[in-house]
């Protein structure tokens, strides 16, 4: 497991491109029959990826749970949200099998002991993208499809940010302890996400960009609004955004991204907006 410690906004101003990427960018999430995990000390969020090909893969494969979490099993004191961005597959949670197609989501509540990932077809394996947050209570494990998500159309073609925010793991859809997750899809011809720029001091966020066409990239903006930086991101890469940082992106094409939030509250509109003319 890769461990990332917290960076403050004062030190961040002096980071080189390489240091910025090493601190916040998450690459190579999908390796055959492995679990890739990055533990961030920003709100203790864990970003994970799993691509089962030849075998069913347990959620803790290759992870020393006691050393990294101090618990007997990974979800003993955690909840997790999982999206499938690959071929069809199944997730088995304590004996219950959940089938996941493309862009389906599974929320697993705190206390689930045995979680296993599988693909229906090794030639077209599932790709499970996951974010886990600490949890102090348990609710209900639930499978969600795109039709179940709460949809919020935003932006316009005129400003190149026409998009639909699909809220999956969200208070309007189901109860969780603190984790919120969703998927934002940009219309063809739109390239900007999360406008106007904002921070939310009470929550951190993690983005995972996908459906980025071949030979295209996304310029992910971060840093304080008064002194921004960027990370050039490719398809199926994730980025950690601390609460003090803006989190926006501009692609060389339209794309889709999965966002995950954790922190003090679950108020989706709890934002500190920054006018575009004040960005530096």
pLDDT value for 267 = 66
Q: What is the mean pLDDT of the chain?
A: 94
Instruction: Average the pLDDT over 171-196 and give the result.
Output: 93
CA 106/CA 102 separation, integer angstroms: 12
**SS3 for 66?**
helix
Instruction: Average the pLDDT over 174-203 and give the result.
Output: 90
pLDDT value for 198 = 78
pLDDT value for 73 = 98
pLDDT value for 196 = 79
CA 7/CA 12 separation, integer angstroms: 7
**SS3 for 157?**
coil
pLDDT value for 265 = 65
Tokens 């904002």 sit on residue: 198
> Has residue 195 got a pLDDT over 80?
no
Q: How confident is the model at residue 227 (pLDDT cuts 50, 70, 90)?
A: very high
Percent of the chain at pLDDT > 90 equals 88
Per-residue pLDDT reduced to its tens digit, 114-165? 999 999 999 999 999 999 999 999 999 999 999 999 999 999 999 999 999 9
> Has residue 278 got a pLDDT over 90?
no
CA 236/CA 68 separation, integer angstroms: 25
**SS3 for 278?**
helix
């Amino acid at each position: 497991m890769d461990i990332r410690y917290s960076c403050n906004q004062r030190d961040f101003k002096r980071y080189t491109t390489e240091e910025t990427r090493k601190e916040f960018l998450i690459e190579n999430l999908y390796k055959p029959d492995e679990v890739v995990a990055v533990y961030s000390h920003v709100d203790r969020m864990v970003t994970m990826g799993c691509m089962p090909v030849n075998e069913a893969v347990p959620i803790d494969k290759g992870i020393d749970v006691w050393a990294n979490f101090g618990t007997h099993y990974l979800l003993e004191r955690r909840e997790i949200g999982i999206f499938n961005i690959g071929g069809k597959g199944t997730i088995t949670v304590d004996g219950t099998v959940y089938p996941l197609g493309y862009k389906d989501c599974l929320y697993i509540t705190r206390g689930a002991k045995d979680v296993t990932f599988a693909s229906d077809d090794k030639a077209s394996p599932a790709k499970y993208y996951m974010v886990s947050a600490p949890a102090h209570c348990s609710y209900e494990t639930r499978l969600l499809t795109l039709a179940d998500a709460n949809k919020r159309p935003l932006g316009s073609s005129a400003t190149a940010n026409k998009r639909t925010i699909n809220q999956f793991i969200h208070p309007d859809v189901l109860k969780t302890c603190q984790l919120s997750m969703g998927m934002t899809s940009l219309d063809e011809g739109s390239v900007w996400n999360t406008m106007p720029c904002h921070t939310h001091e009470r929550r951190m966020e993690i983005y995972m960009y996908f459906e980025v066409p071949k030979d295209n990239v996304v310029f992910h903006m971060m840093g304080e609004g008064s002194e921004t930086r960027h990370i050039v991101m490719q398809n199926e890469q994730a980025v950690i955004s601390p609460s003090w940082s803006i989190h926006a992106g501009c692609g060389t094409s339209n794309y889709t991204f999965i966002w995950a939030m954790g922190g003090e509250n679950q108020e989706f509109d709890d934002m500190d907006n920054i006018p575009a003319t004040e960005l530096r």
